Amino acid sequence: MENNVYIKKKNYLQHRLSLFLSHQTINNKAHFGKYAFIIIMLFAAIPMKAQMLFSENLTLDIDSTKTIQGSLQPEIDFKTEKKHVFTIKNTANLNVLIKQKRIINLINKLEINTVGDKIAVSEGHVHAEYRYLLYRVFEVYPYAESLWAGSRGMVFKLSTGLQARYRFVNTDHLKLFANTALFYEFEKWEDVDAPTGTNSYLYSRSIKNHLSLTLEYTIGEKWDLIATAIHQTKPKDYFRKARFGGAVDLIYHITPKIGIRGAYRFIYDSHPIVSIGKNYTAVNAGLDIAF
């Protein structure tokens, strides 16, 4: 039954796309020009760097008729300072379906900066998971992720563990699921305010648990809303030294394969190991391309 729903949805999207491409009228070209202008304006995005990756907001609905599927989220940023600063960012989300019940998921973000004539690879992350569908609404999977050159003093992060996801609601227009995980985390931080002559690098090694709740809601044929709340801490600390996170993504689909994604991220670290603010927020906008 689930496969039939995917096939019908896929055929519907292909039909809508073929109608758009086959009727190349003046009005269509005018609308396309407006869309292109909006996309170019949205490329000037605010950088989004933090110690949480919010991979739940990038979890894709798997089309059981396709072995390889995913999405790309390119961004371009240009600043005129003492030297021209040109930044290219891309988040790639790749899913490989194996025998209908297993999924290899890879999420990677890479940021490249050019300052004058110099080119440097800066902030980025990678997330990998092996999802196994035990039942229609329940799956377990090991995962690993790494982050480098993050903001607020984080130099490097590595975490790995076992996660489980349960879908409380799973319809075409509404999905509600919870994630729980137990994982090992290593973090390297730099304290820029450390006294002269002292070691400015601090390290954190710990076993933590993860709990999150994600809501996905489809609004009509053009809009998707994804919201996630996250709680992470050591098992013994509960709320005393917890790290909280929130994420909201709003996607407008120009075509079935191309859209504009706006994203909001919030992190509250109740016990940071370096002297930084406990609150962190970021806003971002860019293209969302599915394949």
Q: Which of 280, 289, 213 is nearest to 253 (CA)?
A: 289
β 68-80/84-98 pair status:
antiparallel
pTM of the model as a whole: 0.72
Cβ-count burial of 33 within 10 angstroms (0-12 exposed, 13-18 middle, 19+ buried)? Answer: exposed
- CB-based contact 129:142 (threshold 8 Å): yes
- CB-based contact 73:91 (threshold 8 Å): yes
Cross-strand pairs, 203:
188
pLDDT of residue 33: 43
Q: Which tokens hold the place of 247?
A: 């994420």
- CB-based contact 101:132 (threshold 8 Å): yes
Q: Which of 71, 102, 108, 97 is nearest to 226 (CA)?
A: 71
pLDDT of residue 226: 96
Q: What is the pLDDT tens value at each position of the chain, 291 positions in all?
A: 434 433 343 444 444 434 433 444 444 444 444 443 333 333 333 333 445 667 776 676 677 778 899 989 887 776 665 567 777 888 899 999 988 788 899 998 888 878 777 777 677 889 999 988 777 789 888 999 998 876 667 888 999 999 999 999 989 899 999 999 999 999 998 887 778 778 889 999 999 999 999 999 999 989 999 999 999 999 888 777 899 999 999 999 999 999 999 999 999 988 888 877 788 888 888 899 998
Q: Which tokens hold the place of 256?
A: 């079935």
Instruction: Give all domains of the chain, ordered by start, each with its CATH number.
Output: 2-290 (2.40.160.40)
pLDDT of residue 150: 64
β 223-233/243-253 pair status:
antiparallel
Instruction: Outline where the chain has alpha helix (H).
Output: 2-22, 26-42
pLDDT of residue 79: 64
pLDDT of residue 5: 37
